[in-house]
Amino acid sequence: MKKLVQRLGWPGTIALAVVVLFVAAAILAPWIAPYPAQGAGAPNVVAKLQPPSAAYWLGTDHLGRDILSRILYATRVSLTNGVLIVAFSLLIGLPVGLAAGYFGGWIDEALMRGTDVFLAFPALLLAVLMAAALGPGFLNSIIAVAVTWWPWYARLARAEVLVLRGQPYVEAARLAGVSHPRIIVRHILPATGRPLTVQAALDVGPALLTAAALSFLGLGVLPPTADWGQMVDAGRKFFPARWWYSAMPGMTIFLVALAFSVLGDALRDRKGGAARASA
């Protein structure tokens, strides 16, 4: 614990604890939710729009479902959404950035002009347009956001490769006749891991927010599957009289996004400290 605090600082350690807590809640949702059936979508009309109480800690929604149980089940969807958006973005952007930075010339020019086309549009607007074109759904919302985010990873990977390709060990491998794919995989890709990991940790929070925004607009996960953004949208109709309906999932989104942001900042600061120490 002491070493963890030394590495991440107290804010980063607390943020990591919050992230781990929510990941555990997502995994254990069927066992720790007070009302698992309601969390999965079963209605309970006799308890519609109940305020927070001993029976329903965070209140109930317009179908009488326990909001705490719904949030726990939604955690599985929302966290998976955020992580897969970042993973898909990396899957597209990393190879593009590696190829552009390593080979340079017309390959670099063509690939970077392609990324500029995507960067010319506001990311959220493009995500909304893509989601509207693909239709609502879990996978479609992930694809819609990933399509707007991959250029940032491509540019970051390219910037790292431009520095690395001139290093003596890379030049030595090239002179020894090692193939380009092998140089990229063995020597360049591992060195780009830390900055990309830090950026990925920073991006999970915004990815969650963007996915929640799509669900809020009806372009994300469809009912009865629980999703934080969808819950905020459903509760909006009853606000402010039934404030807990929107407020509870809204505060959950804020807390998780903040935790990932603080954790990413802590990892970035640690990277900077390590770089200064090695220098």
Model confidence pLDDT, tens digit, residues 125-138: 888 998 999 888 88
Q: What is the pLDDT of residue 278?
A: 34
Whether 221 contacts 137, CB under 8 Å: yes
Q: Which residue in 199, 90, 198, 220 sits closest to 142, CA to CA?
A: 220
99 lies in some domain = yes
Burial class (CB in 10 A: 0-12, 13-18, 19+), 113: exposed
Domain count, the chain: 1
Whether 236 contacts 110, CB under 8 Å: no
Q: Which residue in 157, 156, 135 sits closest to 144, CA to CA?
A: 135
| Domain CATH for 205 | 1.10.3720.10
277 lies in some domain = no
Q: What is the pLDDT of residue 239?
A: 87
Residuewise pLDDT in 10s, the chain (279 residues): 667 666 778 788 888 899 999 999 999 999 999 999 988 888 888 888 899 999 999 999 989 999 999 999 999 999 999 999 999 999 999 999 999 988 888 888 999 998 988 888 888 888 899 899 988 888 999 999 998 889 999 999 998 888 888 788 888 888 888 888 888 888 888 888 778 888 888 888 889 889 898 998 888 888 888 899 999 998 988 988 899 999 999 999 999 999 988 888 887 776 554 332 333
221 lies in some domain = yes
Q: What is the pLDDT of residue 2?
A: 67
279 lies in some domain = no
**Alpha-carbon dihedral sign for residues 136, 139, 142, 143:** negative
238 lies in some domain = yes
The whole-model pTM stands at 0.86
Q: What is the pLDDT of residue 167?
A: 83
278 lies in some domain = no
Q: What is the pLDDT of residue 1?
A: 62
Q: Which domain holds residue 238?
A: 1-272
69 lies in some domain = yes
Q: What is the pLDDT of residue 187?
A: 82
Distance CA 41, CA 44 (A): 10
Q: What is the pLDDT of residue 96?
A: 92
Residues contacting 225, CB < 8 A, separation 6+: 41, 77, 138
For the chain, the three-class secondary structure string (H helix, E strand, C coil) is: CHHHHHHHHHHHHHHHHHHHHHHHHHHHHHHHCCCHHHHCCCCCHHHCCCCCCCCCCCCECCCCCEHHHHHHHHHHHHHHHHHHHHHHHHHHHHHHHHHHHHHCHHHHHHHHHHHHHHHCCCHHHHHHHHHHHHCCCHHHHHHHHHHHHHHHHHHHHHHHHHHHCCCHHHHHHHHCCCCHHHHHHHHHCHHHHHHHHHHHHHHHHHHHHHHHHHHHCCCCCCCCCCCHHHHHHHHHCCCCCCHHHHHHHHHHHHHHHHHHHHHHHHHHHHHHHHHHHHC
Q: What is the pLDDT of residue 272?
A: 52
29 lies in some domain = yes
Q: What is the pLDDT of residue 273?
A: 40
